[in-house]
Structure 1
Amino acid sequence: MNIKQGSTSADTRPAFARRVFYIPGYDPIHPRRYRELYRKEGAAQADISGYGLTLNARSGKGRYGWQVAARMDGAEIASEVDVMVWSDIVRDSMSQTIAATYLQLVRTAWVYIASGALLRLMRLRKGPVIAALYPVGFLLVQAALAIALAYGVCRAVSWAWGAALPYDALGDVIGAALGIGAGYALLRWFKKRDGKFYAYYLMHDYAYSARYRGANPPALEARMAEFADDIAAALTGDADEVLVVGHSSGAHLAVSILADLIRGGRVPPGGPALSFLSLGQVVPMVSFLPDAHRLRADLAYLSHSGALTWVDVTAPGDGCAFALCDPVAVSGVAPPGKRWPLVISAAFTQTLTPERWRALRWKFFRLHFQYLCAFDRPGDYDYFRITAGPMTLGQRYDGRAPSASRIERPVNKFTGMAP
């Protein structure tokens, strides 16, 4: 075991210092989940790859995070990781009644279907579209089962009443009441077990973007401004690299945050290298919506900026991501002189052993987090070398060719970048 929690010598001076800002996706869970994932998977990767990591819990107030001391390739590296928490906003958006969730279903389906976004997304990757349709389908199945149960109970009670007593309309009333109660109880049973089904969770996720037709809700915009302030402060510090990691829907938040920073002149020349790593991105689910003007403008702006390095990592084995889809190009906003992102594959079928791949291939949500985990046969993508190693993201991928199977054709109907 090459990773542990503890302290390092105060006399050790790192050869490389890094600040990491991790922006999670639509996730209501406490950020300690990410620290434990880093601890566990970092240990596994350290054993496989033969380097050392020491994880230290951060004390005091401030954003949730941890410190990592690493020894790789003969160098000592110190990384400080901050989790940019917006789980409270997610939880607030998920506090919906059963009836409100079904209303969200109707509104979300209408936005994606009526705008034509759904059909265009299917021209990119069917996996994430199926993932988007899953909560709609499963919630409708739940409703159908509840209606069938309600009808069955109603008929059974009415029949039993009529068999025992002379026919009376009261039997129908009692049967209807008991039937409705049974149907509602079944719906509540499904909702309580959504930790296994993910239907309500995913419905809330897609509804969150669809509600504003691709624009950011005010509460999220305010939180993103706070994130930008923290990153800007780090860019004036003495780190060698400031690395922003955006996972899943956190990737499109990072795009806008970084575009705001660069556009606002908050990336000082001669300061730390600014790097952006997007993982398992689902950018088209938002950028293809009618009112995603801000995101499309930020994608275009960031893609030709010389102020940062942007590497986008996905894998065809991740059915929840738009694998190898260049988020700028497919959104139809690639400008002349486009530089970013460098689109590469984590290639799960090659970087995981056959046994490991067979164990994970049908665990879709687990695979969506594989980017943050250990690989049995790591290639040039290693999350722990990127976040705790002795090279900047730009140095690590200097000269790296993009994936030959990447998708760059523009299929978005909505390409406007101003309201």
Structure 2
Amino acid sequence: MGRAADQDQARGQGGAAVRRRHVFYIPGYDPIHPRRYRELYRSESAAQAGISGYEIAQRPKQTGGPYGWHVTAHVEGAAVEADVEVLVWSDIVRDSMAASIPATYLQLLRTAWIYISTGALFRLMRLRKGPVIAALYPVGMLLLQLLLALGVGALLGFAAGGLAEWGFVPFLGAKALSIVGLLLYLGTFCAVSLLLLRWFKARDGTFFAYYLMHDYAYSAAARGANPPELEARITAFRQLISSAMEENAVDEVLLVGHSSGAHVGVSVLADLLREGLPETRPALGFLSLGQVVPMVSFLPEADRLRGDLRYLSASADITWVDVSAPGDGCAFALCDPVAVSGVAPSGKRWPLVISAAFTQTLSPARWKELRWRFFRLHFQYLCAFDQPGDYDYFKITAGPMTLADRYAGRQPSKSRIEAARSGYTSVRAP
């Protein structure tokens, strides 16, 4: 069965006209409260509606369950309602970021060793240099901070130690002066170096060095295997989506996974499909945005993720669209996450890999404004485009078409990368 037949089946389950939708959003590695995403959706949906000429409004969620909000929209000539819920794992992220300064530098050494010794770093570089540079950035920045702290500490330590030699303690003998000078040097060196390192860490909202280091270290800690707390959260997410699929109160259930949330979403949906879907059910869609799947799937113990990628890519019960853009230096842009991981089955259907084409969907002035704001560009998929193409996050989440219908007949990006690059292709049997 090909993609067209898959889309026909999806339409049969949910119907082409969506009046109600349930959206689940999995953020990337982010310690911030999910209200950040509520406010982002509110402001950016209003901006996109003004540009594209539709109506969209947001109000607080009235039901229980995960943190979320309710959306009412009049898009493409139809009234649509959507409940958007954030599948939170920010508490896990915060716990993983609680490492001390020395522990972070140990993480740096261990993470670098894992990616280098397994060959993953060099294989990743053959895909896209942008995300690899982003991965190397925290290593370079943390080492630079350490060198600066030690250098300034040493200079001021020598100055402090010299006070004794210059006669500021005239009543001491030569031997005592040497001891006092050494103590002053060591005390000043340690105090200044530590203070500077703490100063850098306190301003990591500017440098992002600790944040990114913890991000990559978390993925590499078990050499690609999911930590137990993340596995437990994946199970909880699957149960929430399973309940939504059984309610039959909506026309489509849509899972959105952004950045690291994309590979979490792959495992959630693979588990859901293995469990089995109800016979009568809404359409099921998966939208992966700015994915960094290879950072995990290329590691030796990522057989769980590789197996999930393989399984999900052949499923006729889902529509999976993967959106990225070469202008996003933090994502593996247009890299088919299944194919490049070396686990594409003979009956592969998904994902449909398309480009958000920032240089075309953002005006020259807007692109100039955002081009070097790398972290902001990584979130552009969730934001308004002032020259929108066929990718519109708010039409997808609050419009009247299923994900299958919206991209029916859409050809994948011609510049997508499908060559298998991973050195590890083992998969875990379900």
Smaller-chain TM-score bracket? over 0.9
Report SS of the residue matched to 2:105.
helix
Find out whether 1:255 has 2:258 as its counterpart. no
Q: Pick the aligned partner of 2:296 from 246, 269, 286.
A: 286
Find out whether 1:51 has 2:54 as its counterpart. yes
Paired position in structure 1 for 2:250: 239
Residues 86-133 of structure 1: CA distance to partner in whole angstroms, max 9, x if unpaired? 100000000010000000000100000000000000000000000000
Paired position in structure 2 for 1:348: 358
The one-letter code matched in structure 2 to 1:62 is G
Moved more, 173-182 or 351-360: 173-182
Paired position in structure 1 for 2:309: 299
Spell out the pairing of 1:162-201 with structure 2 (5 A cutoff): 162-164=165-167, 165=170, 166=174, 167-201=177-211
The one-letter code matched in structure 2 to 1:251 is A
How far apart are residue 153 of structure 1 and its match? 1.7
How far apart are residue 374 of structure 1 and its match? 0.2
d(CA) in 2 for partners of 1:413, 1:49: 45
Residues 371-411 of structure 1: CA distance to partner in whole angstroms, max 9, x if unpaired? 00000011110000000000000000000000000000001
Find out whether 1:411 has 2:424 as its counterpart. no
Contact 1:343 1:403 in 2 (8 A): yes
Moved more, 144-153 or 221-230: 144-153
Q: Pick the aligned partner of 2:130 from 127, 144, 152.
A: 127
Give the number of the structure with larger relative contact order, counting CA–CA contacts within 8 Å between residues 6 or more apart: 2
Report SS of the residue matched to 1:82.
strand
Contact 2:361 2:387 in 1 (8 A): yes
Structure 2 unaligned residues grouped into runs of 5+: 1-16
Paired position in structure 1 for 2:39: 36
d(CA) in 2 for partners of 1:262, 1:326: 21
How far apart are residue 60 of structure 1 and its match? 5.4
Structure 1 unaligned residues grouped into runs of 5+: 1-13
Report SS of the residue matched to 1:235.
helix
Paired position in structure 1 for 2:70: 67
Paired position in structure 1 for 2:161: 158
d(CA) in 1 for partners of 2:178, 2:122: 53
Paired position in structure 1 for 2:400: 390
More helix by share: 2
Paired position in structure 2 for 1:87: 90
Find out whether 1:141 has 2:144 as its counterpart. yes
Report SS of the residue matched to 1:379.
coil
d(CA) in 2 for partners of 1:73, 1:246: 25
Paired position in structure 1 for 2:10: none
The one-letter code matched in structure 2 to 1:151 is A
Percent identical: 65
Report the count of equivalent residues.
Answer: 405
Paired position in structure 1 for 2:275: 264
d(CA) in 2 for partners of 1:243, 1:58: 17
Paired position in structure 1 for 2:333: 323
The one-letter code matched in structure 2 to 1:69 is T
How far apart are residue 189 of structure 1 and its match? 0.3
The one-letter code matched in structure 2 to 1:294 is R
Contact 1:157 1:172 in 2 (8 A): no
How far apart are residue 268 of structure 1 and its match? 1.7
d(CA) in 1 for partners of 2:349, 2:91: 35
Q: Which runs of 4+ in 1 moved over 6 A?
A: none
The one-letter code matched in structure 2 to 1:220 is L
Residues 153-209 of structure 1: CA distance to partner in whole angstroms, max 9, x if unpaired? 221111121111343312111221111100000000000000000000000000001
